[in-house]
Structure 1
Amino acid sequence: MLNKNDLNKLLDFTLEIQNIDYDFRQKTLNMISELFNYDNMNFFFYDLDRNDINLCNPISTKTVEKAMNSYIKHYFYKDIFHKAYSSSLNNNLYHNKVITVKDLMSSYNFTQSEYYNDFLRYYDWDNQIVLPLNYNNRQLGVIAILKQDGQNDVTTYEYCLLSKINEIITQSLNMYLKEFESNQEANIFKSSYSVIPTGLMILNYQFSHIYTNDTAKEYCKIISENRNYFSPTKNEYINKIVDLLTSDYHKNNNNEINIDSYTFKIYPFIVSSTYHTIETMYTIYITEDEQPEKIHEKKLINYKLTKRELEIINLLLKGLTNTEIADQLFLSSHTIRTHIQNIYAKMDVNNRTALLYKLNS
């Protein structure tokens, strides 16, 4: 049925559709329009989580906006082809590459339908062709072609060429959706984990980092600065910390490693690699160890101490004398003694030893 010129068109179509990197549906419709001179086409994605067709941001070629809005709001579920995707669909018809009105009903019944009389005729459309895009029994989407009143029905030649086009689009759409879904999952992962208060790192089997969220970057930077590591780039100071982890993990076979005031918990997990082998990767959660002052503040919350009294307690914990505390806070020794007596009263202790014992118990 197809001549050499048609085969060349299909080859060009195949090469062009494989190079689409964004806006797959719109570019595909434009390519079909150029090939067949169709003016009005719609492209719908299926709801990939369900078995029924869903209006996932429908797009069209030259279909007037008023007609498209009317279709979405009122006529989509009255479309005779909508029934073609219900459970009552004939299995043979389901696997067709091209479905026409005649596959579903007689011309008479079609012209009597509400969909035809109230929608198609209003916009001078007389016929409709559907290309169901199904890959391995998975419904990916559908392309609807609307023919103007007076245009011929689908010819055998047209049917044959559209069938081949369907196969090409379906293959490419399947790959496009896989990549889209994969990128979407990765973006959701990065967006959510970049802002959590826990540091997160993912290392490959060689212990090279492949993902680090913002919190983990900040922790690694603080550790590097405290250790005077030279780190002109982010990756360099992250690599320094990863080197410390690697050394300790392989030396002691310990899944919980402490570096300065941070705890790194390492969890191995298994993934399938590109070459169908199994690889071990590592998820690392980083938490900041609570500082003694923060722990004491939690213990002291019920004593209703003032901010100044909390400052004095922290200085007492460091072993400073009353005179040293007074000098540091620019207060008189008498004022410091008064604050300390108030602290003793609130915490029900009589001296500094009892206070320190209560704080550390």
Structure 2
Amino acid sequence: MRSMKENSNTNKTFETLTLLEEVILSISSINNFEELEFEYLNSISHLIPAHATALYLMKPEKKEPRRIGARGVDVDFLTYYEKRGRDVDPLMRWITQKMTPNQSQLLLGLEGWQHHPVYNIVGTASIDFAMQSPLVSGRKIIGTLNFGRDIREGPFTASDLKVVSIISKFLSMAISKSVGYGESPDQSKSLYDSIEHIPQGVILTDSEYSIQYSNSAAKILSERNFDSCDPGKDLSSLLRHEANIRGKYGLLHSNNLNAKFCPLPGSNKQQSIIFLEEDSCLSEFLPASQLLTSREIDVINLVDKGMRNKEIAEELRISINTVKRHLDNIYCKLNVNCRTELISKMYKLMNSRNN
């Protein structure tokens, strides 16, 4: 029997991985920076909750920002931080020198952070805990991802730091392409390192679906589902076959495997990223309602009210494509094919729970 704590931790990990997928999928096909900024800022709060979030695009070879997109802070604060905070900010100094993310209490300790001059500056926006991650192209910082929480929201965790590290790698590639910086071999290696040990199977392929990279979880899934001397080759053949039948991007259900295809953000080589999992991965011990993220439940509630995709997008302040992606994920998890089946399935689940 699994303990309640184990189930809770598994459910939390599953939701984090699902939300991570959704953020990456939301930016995968976007080549315009303004659209990238909009999608990121509207989706990241579900993955890393924080009342203050920002995406800084830096001027080439300079310290000051070229553009700032933000939620939860106003222009007055952003201007104040640029004048008084940036030059003394220890997190900014860290990511500039180390090119890795960090958070305030981990870098300085809680007491050290609270006694640092920048604490009073960011405190004007109710930021008691801060986290930043660099956006990197080659060996140059092209921007930063910034987060702020207050006392009620609590400090950032090691999990938050890991997640922002992964997101920043994908976003760096997408932004590099959108503003004309091009691709860098260093970016690929950095991306591989960031996703190697996450429990979600992740595969990168070329335009012909030959596998260029599989993380540890994807290799385990391949070996478990293909009884051959070269499971990676068998998986590549399956992906190529299914893509030819179903179209280049979308969902695959075959050989006891679920796979989500999308373009690799920022790639100029028609590469794909594929998220891989087994059908029975979580449903063996989680009821269907627990397989859904909070945002997916929001979408279902609005579908139940008869709203169309456009109305759902306006209500949740997300794009129509994001609504469609949520519905695809919901259909996959609940094994339904349309809205009518979805609502029927949810009412059956509610009735069975009440009984």
Q: Normalising TM by the smaller chain, what interval?
A: 0.3 to 0.5
Larger radius of gyration: 1
The TM-score, its normalising length taken from structure 1, stands at 0.42
* Structure with higher RCO (Cα < 8 A, 6+ apart): 2
Q: TM-score, normalised by structure 2?
A: 0.43
